[in-house]
Chains A and B, each alone.
Chain A
Amino acid sequence: MSKNKQGISRRDFLKSTGIASSAMLLASIPATALAQSPDQENIEIVYVVPESTTSSSKLFDPVVERFTAEHPNVSVRFVAADNSGGWGAYFDSLVVLLASGEPIDMGKIPSEGHRLAVARDLIVPFDPYMDVSDMSFYFDDVAPQLAEQVKFAGLTYGLPYDFNNMVIWLNTKALEEVGLDAPPEDWSFEDFLTYAQALTTKDGDNVSRYGFSFWTGPFGVCPWLFNNGIEGFMGGDALEIPLMNDPAFVEVYQMLYDFIYTHGVSPRTDSNVTATLESGTAGMTMAGRWPVVGYLDAEFEDYTIQYWPNNGARVTEVGTGAWPIFSASQNPDMAWQFELAALNQESVKHFVLAGANIPAYKSVAEDPDYLNTHPDPENARIFFDSINRDDIQVKTVSSPPEFNELDSIQARWTSLILADEISVEEGLASFQEEMEAVVASRPAEWADKF
């Protein structure tokens, strides 16, 4: 045993260290963890939010402030689920949270997850609440086609407060260089190819600017499918019929292949396509409203937008944001009250101005504060008008209950087709086969839910 000159032995030093470490560990446990259970009269609403740069719990601060002022016994706690890996990763986090027993009351579920949540009874219908609430503030102001997007088997599971669609973004400097005006709103697939070819410029053998850069996730391919007269990746009320063998489906994939290999108007990559418009590497690209935040930060204003080209059918693809109430909720009645507070026009305006989505309300979509986030406010009306016209149908991105499987199977076969390692027909036949196997393993009771 060693002793220092002050008489503390090594053994005593180690004991003291152990006691001190234990004390520090205990002190680090939050007091709330050791507190007694809260007063039964106090209610806590637990809300799941996808944390990202344009969507976070901070956005709810004004909503929470107003709500808790009206309901002083209610507090709102936000639980973050990571969506940096896309909506698929967000659903995984959400499902794990629910399975872990976290008493989540409500949270954002985008279109891709609605059927997944309904099939697994994770969310409850709003109809009993809507029947006893004055919903005129909502239905009088929301585009009718949009309001129906979270309705299955006659039951409403969510009330869209915002959405994103797909439009074509064009670089105005590139258009000017090649002497083209912005295309007409009802341009066809052929017109689109003409624009893409005109915007493609070469420097010797190298392409200095591509006419069109595109990405190929389900949200990126669906608008082509919809505007080519097909339901999407899956058909049927319960999205139980894979459509990859449909001639209209094959036609779209052949067109995408031809953009790259036959016409040479598109690069063989789908990473960060919105950056290609800004950098001038592409004359056109595709997106919803989400590039606007990045473009504002970069002070990039040389763009315009146009409706998606069509091939007979005019359809706008949407992905909606809604806040369903979870079946795990311990306070569904109060969760509904928070839903109403967050759903009003003032709140939605706050969300869309801070983020990159399109408001579901016409009044907000026509608000100058919203329109002036774009260099051409009149042009920006296209975002909302695309879902508010009688001559344009609105369809939600293909979102079967097995969206995660569709997403990964689609990515595999599409990448092989567009890498020119497999023919379009062969690739889609394999895609069809895999999706048929996925649907075949679906529980029979799911069919009644849609």
Chain B
Amino acid sequence: MNGFEQSKAINTTQSVGSSRSLLQWNQRRSDIAWAYLLILPTILGFLIFIAGPVIAGLGLAFFRYDIVSAPKFIGLANFERLAADPRAMVVLQNTVYYTFGMVIFDLVLAMALAVAINSKIPHMLKRFYQAIFFFPILVSGAAIAIVWQLLLASDIGIINYFLGQIGIEKIPWILASDWVKPSVIMVTVWNGVGFNMILILAGLQGIPNYLYEAADIDGANGFQKFSRITVPLLSPVIFFIIVKGIIGVLQLFEAPFVLTEGGPGDASRTVLMYLYESFRQLKIGYASSVGFVLFGIILVITIIQFVVSRYWVFYDND
């Protein structure tokens, strides 16, 4: 092959190589375009139905707006009013109470149920208990709250009737300020503990048995095995339950709304119920400011949780 022919061969090879690169580049651009096209509906949905309303809501917090008339800019007046409203502090305290009460109670109960079901009981019995504890999750929270409202009625409810039969005085479950919050926690945990129980059960079943066998050989007792093996290895699940639980409880609405309507007074009212009340009274700007503050609280708490998690949550790749 002479030089020209070699050169021609090289050019051809390079041309073929360039053509192949161009083809790959065009293919890649096409892939990218298709990828964006296929995720476009989700992105549009997020922008239109989530991000857009959130940003609009944050904006409305700086206006006085009753839906019927045009919005009027009032600066920070809604936030000043929120800071000065004694009811706002009461509902915030209630919400914090629910958060600690529900998350801790739910977690402990879910853990106890999962450990019990994961013990050496017949398989059919395991499945049975899983089903009955999970069942309340399948029922609407509002329907559950209505039924519990009848059960917990102070003077004509069946729970107080049976308590009376064993000599216990009627408890004003959903009437007295001292009892309404524990009653709401009880109903909400009863409704949702099954889901967390299933998560923890799945986590328990993923813990290798040889760890417990090794611990047995080393003479560890039940509590030591639980605290040194079970809990650390379950920490990702526990973390998820806590984060999800706190976010959910900070937005608690259904159970207290149906059970007690936030009463007596504001004794069982949550921040979200207070926000809803403001919307009902056509104080859209003020309600938006409450939503803004709630969003900020949830964001800060969630960030703190993620930062702190590095000290106690252990993942498989750690």
Contacts and interface: CB of A to CB of B under 8 A. Distances in A.
A207 B71 CA distance: 55
Interface residues on A, range: 35 or more
A272 B67 contact: no
B161 A206 contact: yes
A95 interface: yes
A111 B311 CA distance: 60
A411 B31 contact: no
B154 A268 contact: yes
A207 B263 CA distance: 25
Nearest to A407: B280
Contact of B149 (A25, A268, A271): A271
A120 interface: yes
Contact of B34 (A14, A92, A120, A418): A14
B153 interface: yes
A269 interface: yes
A266 to B, nearest CB: 8
A422 B282 CA distance: 29
Contacts of A89: 280
B174 to A, nearest CB: 8
Given A14-B34, A99-B67, A415-B264, A268 B277 contact: no
Interface residues of B, number: 32
A22 to B, nearest CB: 9
Contacts of A205: 164
Given A14-B38, A122-B68, A416-B263, A92 B150 contact: no
A419 B155 contact: no
Contacts of B156: 210, 267, 269, 276, 281
B155 A18 contact: no
A88 B257 CA distance: 14
Contact of B31 (A11, A96, A269, A272): A11
Contacts of B67: 95-96, 99
A221 to B, nearest CB: 15
Contacts of A25: 41
Interface string A72-101: 000000000000000011001001101100
B68 A419 contact: no
Interface in B263-284: 263-266, 277, 279-282
B178 to A, nearest CB: 9
A98 B68 CA distance: 8
Nearest to B265: A416
B34 A15 contact: yes
A271 B149 CA distance: 8
A404 B281 contact: yes
Given A205-B164, A419-B176, A421-B264, A269 B155 contact: yes
B119 to A, nearest CB: 41
A126 B275 CA distance: 37
B64 to A, nearest CB: 11
B58 interface: no
10 contacts: A89-B280, A98-B68, A120-B68, A268-B154, A268-B155, A269-B155, A271-B149, A404-B280, A416-B265, A419-B175
Report the 4 A-B pairs with minimum CB-CB distance, sorted nearest first: A267-B155, A415-B263, A415-B264, A419-B264
